[in-house]
Amino acid sequence: MLAHEIVKNIQSGQVSPQEVVSASLQRIAQLEPRLHALIRLNPQAEQEAALVEQRLARGEHLPLAGVPVVLKDNICTQDLATTCGSRMLADFVPPYSATVVEKLRQAGAVVVAKANMDEFAMGSSTEYSAFGPTRNPWDTERVPGGTSGGSAAAVAAGMVPLALGTDTGGSVRQPAALCGVYGFKPTYGRISRYGVVATASSLDQVGTMARTVQDLALLSDVVSGYDPMDSTSLEIQAQFAAALQASSRGLTIGLVKEALAVGNSPGVLEALERFRSVMEAQGVRFVEVSLPSLEYALAAYYIVNTAEISSNLARYDGTLYGLRVPGEDSTTTMMQSREHGFGPEVQRRILMGTFVLSSGYYEAYYGKALRARARIKADFDRAFSQADLLLTPTSPFPAFRLGEKTTDPLSMYLADIDTVAVNLAGLPAMSIPAGFEGHLPVGVQLIGKALHDEQIFVAANAFEQATERAFARAAI
């Protein structure tokens, strides 16, 4: 069932929150052995469903009443282990919940599980999870994408209708594309980061995932909004559901020249073509735009990303909390704990990040990357003077096979080519299921002007309506 259907049916009394949650848990039990989308079930899920029922009985208005959701395991849930897909935090139980979790609970949603992810949100396939990879529901020999692979797979497989992930360089959008679901990253600051374990602070955002635009809007409205606990949080009122009333007629969409020049696989090109023709028929105008510095975005991104990672992950040292591998003194303990607690990709990025920030190299790498960032932002600003939205592929190719890219770290980085510039510029973007390459889903990416996230929903909704949700079906 879709989320908005669940809410309607619960409100009308046709079904109870416990029944819905129970059905979700059953489906999870059935599919998990094959998919491994999840790290841990919430043992309190059924009790929480019962509580929702009581609140409804008291007359409370709950926009997500009884809807089962899955949270990427880097989102802190009080009293429920939050591992970030890492041995370092394998047994870490936070004494507090993220703001987005409070908002979900407030709205009546029920967190049924924590989803699998690449360790500390570094990767593009969920193969870097310390607890084993997640498999793509459309083809279990292939990856679901990453780093929010578990969340995407859970939604695609119909375990839950809604999920939260995090997106640092495409980590919600790319798995959404590879799993055939919607994945949305808001303008930086529109969804609170408090309680979301930091990977790269100036790039991270919580992202929402669902199988339809309406469900996506429902979820996005609930979790968005100003949070005084997050200094980067913006005071913007979310109006995603309201946006679905608007027509896309008269919008201009810019096709990004440089994104098309990259080697995109045939299914991707076909999906872009379909999107264009469907939308043109809706009265949307298409122009070609250029982001000349796009080819430098990957390098700039990985410099900023690794620099901030090296700082954000410094706290994991076996001193106060987390994994400790005891040594003879505090320094040895720190070094051993981190060696054992972190996987190879995390270690690579920490070392790289330390390097780009270190004395003598800051200007050449980090300073340079921050200026390149300004350049990339300026390119986007210029493109947005010609178009309301920008169109690119989400990923140059559909889901690749497990093990295909893990031998060469760089090749994994190159998979992010369409998505990273968006995080650098802090813009909103959404991956929209728009086709198939054989049996594998393909997504296209719409990028919006800063703070104009709702306009993306208008366009996505128009495409979905016009194609009668042809690409939003469950995988299994």
| Contacting other proteins within 43-102 (CB under 8 A) | 74-76, 82, 84, 89, 92-96, 98
Q: Which of 27, 257, 285, 348 binds other proteins (CB under 8 A)?
A: 348
Q: Which of 117, 217, 300, 420 binds other proteins (CB under 8 A)?
A: 300
* Active site residue ranges: 72, 171
Size of site (CB under 8 A) for other proteins: 101
Strand partners, 167: 205
Residue number with CB closer to other proteins (292 or 403): 292
* Position 195 contacts other proteins (CB under 8 A): yes
Q: Which is nearer to other proteins, 142 or 193 (CB)?
A: 193
- Name the token pair of 181: 């679901």
Decide if residue 231 touches other proteins (CB under 8 A): yes
Residues 207 and 145: their CA atoms lie apart, in Å, by 15
Q: Out of 116, 147, 208, 293, point to the residue binding other proteins (CB under 8 A).
A: 293
Q: Which stretch binds other proteins (CB under 8 A): 9-17, 265-273, 381-389, 407-415?
A: 407-415
Q: Which part of the chain contacts other proteins (CB under 8 A), choosing from 12-20, 45-53, 144-152, 405-413?
A: 405-413
Q: Is residue 454 part of the contact set for other proteins (CB under 8 A)? A: no
Alpha carbon 84 to chain centroid, angstroms = 14
**Looking at beta carbons only, is 25 or 98 nearer to other proteins?**
98
Give the one residue of 7, 197, 399, 458 binding other proteins; rule: CB under 8 A: 197
The binder of other proteins chosen from 375, 452, 466, 476 (CB under 8 A): 375
The answer to whether residue 184 forms part of the interface with other proteins (CB under 8 A) is no
Do residues 422 and 438 lie in contact, with contact meaning Cβ atoms separated by under 8 Å? no
Neighbours of 53 (CB within 10 A): 18
Q: How far is the CB of 331 from other proteins (least distance, A)?
A: 7
By CB under 8 A, residue 237 contacts other proteins? no
How many other C-beta atoms can be found within 10 angstroms of the C-beta atom of residue 132?
Answer: 12
Residue 74 or 208: the one with the smaller Cβ distance to other proteins is 74
* Residue among 139, 203, 152, 149 at smallest CA distance from 182: 152
Interface with other proteins includes 336 (CB under 8 A)?
yes
| Integer CA distances (angstroms), 121 to 42, 144, 282, 316, 425, in order | 21, 14, 38, 15, 19
State phi, psi for 123 to the nearest 5 degrees. Answer: 145, -175
- Sign (positive/negative) of CA torsion 272, 273, 279, 285? positive
- The least distance separating other proteins from the CB of residue 348, rounded to whole angstroms, comes to 6
Sheet of 389-393, strands arranged across: 38-41, 110-115, 68-72, 162-167, 205-210, 182-185, 429-437, 440-448, 389-393, 252-256, 285-289
CB of 383 to other proteins, least distance (A): 16
Question: To the nearest 10°, the Cα dihedral for 353, 305, 341, 71?
Answer: 170
Whole-angstrom distance, CA of residue 173 vs CA of residue 448: 14
Residue 191 Cβ vs other proteins, minimum distance, rounded to whole Å: 13
CA angle 89, 90, 93 (to 5 degrees): 70
Q: With CB under 8 A as the contact rule, which of the stretches 34-42, 107-115, 304-312, 430-438 interacts with other proteins? A: 304-312
Is the separation of the CB atoms in 421 and 291 below 8 Å?
A: yes
| Residue 172 exposed, middle or buried by CB count within 10 Å (0-12, 13-18, 19+) | buried
Shortest CA distance to 129 belongs to which of 171, 75, 92, 85?
85
User: Which of 11, 44, 106, 201 lies at the binding interface for other proteins (CB under 8 A)?
Assistant: 201
- Piece of 24-32, 259-267, 327-335, 394-402 that binds other proteins (CB under 8 A): 327-335
> Does 406 interact with other proteins (rule: CB under 8 A)?
no
Pairing mode, strands 252-256 and 68-72: unpaired
Question: Which of residues 138, 342, 457, 463 is near other proteins by CB under 8 A?
Answer: 342
Residue nearer to other proteins on the CB measure, 337 or 461? 337
Rule CB under 8 A: is residue 130 a binding residue for other proteins? Answer: no
**Applying CB under 8 A, which of residues 247, 374, 438, 473 lies at the interface with other proteins?**
374
Whether the upstream peptide bond of residue 147 has omega within 30° of 0, thus cis, is: yes
User: Could you tell me the smallest distance in angstroms from the CB atom of residue 91 to other proteins?
Assistant: 10
- Residue 251 within binding range of other proteins, rule CB under 8 A: no
User: CB under 8 A: which stretch of 238-246, 257-265, 274-282, 348-356 binds other proteins?
Assistant: 348-356
